[in-house]
């Protein structure tokens, strides 16, 4: 995997962190047990579920795709050949 370093102005980042602290940040979904999580990820990997359905089943909103990628990689689940 390639690494990317990005330098940004700190003021928007700090404003975002402040806002998250004041508002409680994003709402957390109910955690999915690891057996269910692996089952859903494998269904996606094998083409039996769409990515959207898999993300819904594990409680991830579409804008949290990066978290989905992280789960796939952390659990060494292969990506489907066709998405």
Q: What is the pLDDT of residues 12-39, one digit of tens each?
A: 767 777 776 777 655 555 567 889 999 9
Tens digits of residue pLDDT in 55-67: 999 999 999 999 9
Reported pTM: 0.61
In angstroms, what CA-CA distances link 61 with 17, 29, 54? 20, 9, 10
**CA–CA gap between residue 23 and residue 21 (Å, rounded):** 6
Name the region of 47 (left: φ>0; alpha: ψ -120 to 50; beta: rest): left
SS3 15: helix
The residue extents of the domains of the chain are 31-83
Cα angle 31, 37, 40 (rounded to 5 degrees) comes to: 130
């Amino acid at each position: 995997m390639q690494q990317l370093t990005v330098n940004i102005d700190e003021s928007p980042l700090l404003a975002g962190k402040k806002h998250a602290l004041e508002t409680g940040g994003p709402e957390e979904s109910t955690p999915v047990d690891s057996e269910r999580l692996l089952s859903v990820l494998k269904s996606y990997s094998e083409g039996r579920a769409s990515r959207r359905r898999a993300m819904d089943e594990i409680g991830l909103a579409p804008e949290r795709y990066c978290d989905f990628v992280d789960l796939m990689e952390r659990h060494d689940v292969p990506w489907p050949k066709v998405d």
